[in-house]
Amino acid sequence: MMDTKEKILQKSLQLFNEFGISKVSQRKIAKCLSISPGNLTYHFKKKEDIEETLYFQLTTNISADFKKIDTDEINLSFILTLMNQVFTYIHTYRFVFLDIVYLIRSNPKISDDYKRLIKNRKKRFLQIYNSLLDAEILQNEKLPNEYEYLYKRLEILFDFYLSSVEISQKGITHNHIKKHSEIFLYSIFPYLTDKGQNEFIKLINRS
């Protein structure tokens, strides 16, 4: 059986995803679970504590996946699988991405961790980049800063795709995981060598 703490986290995640953090109070979470506000604050003193716990669940999951870069063979198929997995987590914890500016502006623990996380993400990107270059899957740069800017764009697509869906469409559905992955991966296609492009086309026809 699920304990109260776990129930609070699951319900909070659902409410945060649906309404945005600022519209969900501790009182509302308690009411939806039919528990007393006192019972809730016994487990989580402030709403920020719930936000943080959920945020760290997300980043722990994503980091575990990114660690595979150290052990597995890095090719396009690996990247496709990794991205599908990561975008599934992003979708599950989407309130973090929909409210990321607010979270980072208002919560110092999350802000500090996010700075650590983007450094790590850049390191991982360079690992992938070097592997693809060695395997002659990626072309050499044609412009100064070309791959630095590509990386910046990938970062923005990673963090803000769901926000873009939220403001331009009728709501976020499960289909958006696959689409997020495709829109993200297609941005590397024109930088691939002929060998890389052929491999890419085979992969997307299979998936």
Question: Among residues 32, 35, 100, 135, which is the contact residue for its own copies, using CB under 8 A?
Answer: 100
How many residues are given for the chain? 207
Under the binding rule (CB under 8 A), the answer on residue 171 touching its own copies is no
Tell me the C-alpha distance between 37 and 187, whole Å: 47
The set of residues, in sequence order, having a beta carbon less than 8 Å from that of 41 and lying 6+ positions away, is 26
Per-residue tokens: 128: 């992938």
Candidates 39-47, 59-67, 73-81, 157-165: pick the segment binding its own copies (CB under 8 A): 157-165
Under the binding rule (CB under 8 A), the answer on residue 197 touching its own copies is yes
Under the binding rule (CB under 8 A), the answer on residue 203 touching its own copies is no
Under the binding rule (CB under 8 A), the answer on residue 143 touching its own copies is yes
Distances in Å between the Cα of 197 and the Cα atoms of 47, 70, 81, 122, 185 are 47, 24, 17, 24, 12
Taking CA 90 as the corner, what is the angle to CA 87 and CA 91, rounded to the nearest 5 degrees?
A: 90
Under the binding rule (CB under 8 A), the answer on residue 153 touching its own copies is yes
Question: Among residues 3, 34, 73, 167, which is the contact residue for its own copies, using CB under 8 A?
Answer: 167
Residue type, 5: K
Min dist. Cβ of residue 34 to its own copies (A):
27
Q: What are phi and psi of 171, to 5 degrees?
A: 145, 160
- Which chain residues interact with its own copies by CB under 8 A? 20, 22, 98-102, 104-105, 114-115, 118, 142-143, 145-146, 149-150, 152-153, 155-157, 159-161, 163-164, 166-168, 182-183, 186-187, 189-191, 197, 201, 204
